[in-house]
């Protein structure tokens, strides 16, 4: 059934379960989302959270069980094989493993996807293959076999193949997982540029926090449901910081101190404007091997910490109400006492915090 529908993908109340012998495993429960035209959406979530299941349902590669998915207006629930084939013509797929056939040349691999689509033949097909290979910078490799290509080059052939039919939607499942940092970045930039040029929407599953910055929107799948953007950001931030800390505690401390110091200086005149933000980011990127997206997170964290440490100006509205102030201080005492005894250092720290926040220290005694 085809209804006029301007939103390319509409997912409503989708559930999915796997039957494994005696037990049933509920993977997706009541998942709803929309993908708009030309939008790049990144889908994150822990391993086993159902990302591949969801993306293969949207791509009509797997039969639905419940809910509704409309792909360019066509309902996929209870759709026939033939109807699912038709829906797939609008979609280009990019997988974690490039999925090229080793016994076919680059050109033949791409022509496989052309023959599923518009059915171009002969000279028309060859011309289209040359065009897409040129777009991914691999025209010179057109008659090579996959064995003769690097991992990044194979993945770029995978992109060319996905784009060959001029799809309106690209579904990519961990397209950078088998690549090193630089080739991964190049592959993602390429997907972004080509999809923008063609006006195609993208849904990309990734575990790679370093490429989150290409997204117009991030969706986070956990416990079978789509979580809020703040949950996604919090989860990836804490994941990233933990990783950094475990990997290189010295670097983590340095970056944290560095970003706080830079932010404090910029904030000293009372406001942080865009040129100051850009300057801080540029310095952090230059002095670490963090990506732009990671630097943004570290900087926003530093900013929120520095903002609550800066002394309120004289005569300004007090930061907290008297009740909040009281709860704040008694909570500090509760934490100090949590290990069974309150030390002198802990009391001094509470006093220091109270003074930094401009509290009346008489009330800070507890």
Sites of contact with ligand ATP (CB under 6 A): 18, 20, 25, 27, 45, 47-53
Side-chain-side CA neighbours of 224 within 13 Å: the count stands at: 12
Q: Cα–Cα distance between 358 and 311 in angstroms, integer?
A: 6
Following CA atoms 143, 148, 151, 152 in sequence, which dihedral angle do they give, to the nearest 10 degrees?
A: -40
Residue number with CB closer to ligand ATP (52 or 113): 52
Which span (50-58, 116-124, 175-183, 260-268) binds Mg ion, by CB under 5 A?
A: 50-58
Side-chain-side CA neighbours of 276 within 13 Å: the count stands at: 16
Q: What tokens does 225 get?
A: 């449901």
Q: How far is CA 283 from CA 110, 255, 280, 291, in A?
A: 43, 11, 5, 12
Which span (30-38, 44-52, 77-85, 286-294) binds Mg ion, by CB under 5 A?
A: 44-52
Total residues binding Mg ion (CB under 5 A): 1
- Contact call for residue 96 and Mg ion (CB under 5 A): no
Residue number with CB closer to ligand ATP (48 or 124): 48
E strand or H helix at 221:
strand 217-222
Which residue of this chain has its Cβ atom nearest to Mg ion in the complex? Answer: 52
- Cβ atoms of residues 159 and 100 within 8 Å: no
Number of helices (H), then strands (E), in the chain: 13, 10
* Parallel, antiparallel or unpaired: strands 23-35 and 9-20: antiparallel
Task: Please state the closest distance from residue 52 (CB atom) to ligand ATP, in A.
Answer: 3
Q: What tokens does 103 get?
A: 């016994």
67 binds, among Mg ion, ligand ATP, none (CB under 5 to 8 A by kind): none
Task: Please state the closest distance from residue 25 (CB atom) to ligand ATP, in A.
Answer: 6
Residue number with CB closer to ligand ATP (47 or 250): 47
Q: How far is CA 13 from the centre of its chain?
A: 22
Which span (46-54, 107-115, 250-258, 354-362) binds Mg ion, by CB under 5 A?
A: 46-54
224 binds, among ligand ATP, Mg ion, none (CB under 5 to 8 A by kind): none
Q: What tokens does 304 get?
A: 């929120």
Site string for Mg ion, 3-42 (x = CB under 5 A): ----------------------------------------
Of positions 44, 52, 165, 263, contacts Mg ion by CB under 5 A: 52
Task: Please state the closest distance from residue 46 (CB atom) to ligand ATP, in A.
Answer: 7
Tally the residues of the chain.
Answer: 366
Residue number with CB closer to ligand ATP (51 or 156): 51
Task: Please state the closest distance from residue 24 (CB atom) to ligand ATP, in A.
Answer: 10
Residue number with CB closer to ligand ATP (19 or 182): 19
Q: How far is CA 366 from the centre of its chain?
A: 44
Q: Cα–Cα distance between 152 and 135 in angstroms, integer?
A: 15
- Cβ atoms of residues 77 and 68 within 8 Å: yes
49 binds, among Mg ion, ligand ATP, none (CB under 5 to 8 A by kind): ligand ATP
Task: Please state the closest distance from residue 100 (CB atom) to ligand ATP, in A.
Answer: 20
φ, ψ of residue 168 in degrees (nearest 5): -90, -5
Task: Please state the closest distance from residue 235 (CB atom) to ligand ATP, in A.
Answer: 14
* Parallel, antiparallel or unpaired: strands 40-44 and 217-222: parallel
Task: Please state the closest distance from residue 93 (CB atom) to ligand ATP, in A.
Answer: 14
27 binds, among Mg ion, ligand ATP, none (CB under 5 to 8 A by kind): ligand ATP
Task: Please state the closest distance from residue 210 (CB atom) to ligand ATP, in A.
Answer: 17
- Interacting residues toward Mg ion by CB under 5 A: 52
């Amino acid at each position: 059934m085809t209804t006029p529908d301007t939103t390319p993908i509409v997912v409503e109340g989708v559930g999915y379960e796997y039957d494994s012998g005696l037990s049933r495993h509920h993977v997706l429960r009541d998942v709803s989302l929309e993908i708009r035209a030309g939008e790049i959406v990144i889908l994150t979530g822990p391993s086993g959270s159902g990302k591949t299941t969801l993306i293969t349902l949207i791509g009509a590669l797997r039969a639905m069980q419940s809910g509704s998915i409309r792909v360019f207006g066509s309902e996929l629930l209870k759709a026939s094989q033939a109807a699912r084939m038709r829906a797939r013509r609008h979609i280009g797929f990019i997988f974690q493993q490039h999925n090229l056939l080793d016994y076919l040349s680059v050109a033949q691999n791409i022509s496989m996807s052309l023959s599923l689509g518009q059915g171009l033949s002969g000279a028309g097909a060859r011309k289209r293959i040359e065009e897409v290979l040129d777009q991914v910078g691999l025209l010179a490799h057109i008659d090579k076999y996959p064995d003769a290509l690097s991992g990044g080059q194979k993945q770029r052939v995978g992109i060319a193949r996905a784009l060959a039919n001029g799809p309106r939607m690209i579904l990519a499942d961990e397209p950078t997982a088998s690549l090193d940092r630089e080739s991964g970045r190049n592959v993602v930039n390429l997907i972004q540029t080509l999809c923008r040029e063609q006006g195609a929407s993208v849904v990309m599953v990734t575990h790679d926090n370093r490429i989150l910055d290409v997204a117009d929107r991030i969706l986070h799948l956990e416990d079978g449901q789509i979580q809020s953007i703040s949950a996604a950001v919090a989860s990836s931030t804490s994941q990233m910081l933990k990783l950094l800390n475990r990997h290189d505690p010295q670097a983590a401390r340095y970056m944290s101190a560095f970003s706080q110091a830079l932010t404090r200086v910029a904030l000293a005149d009372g406001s942080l404007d865009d040129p100051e933000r850009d300057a801080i980011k540029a310095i952090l990127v230059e002095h670490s091997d963090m990506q732009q997206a990671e630097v943004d997170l570290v900087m926003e964290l530093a900013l929120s910490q520095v903002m609550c440490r800066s002394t309120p100006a004289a005569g300004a509205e007090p930061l907290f109400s008297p009740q909040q102030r009281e709860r704040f201080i008694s909570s500090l005492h509760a934490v100090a006492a949590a290990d069974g005894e309150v030390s002198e250092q802990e009391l001094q720290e509470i006093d220091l915090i109270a003074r930094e926040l401009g509290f009346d220290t008489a009330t800070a005694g507890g």
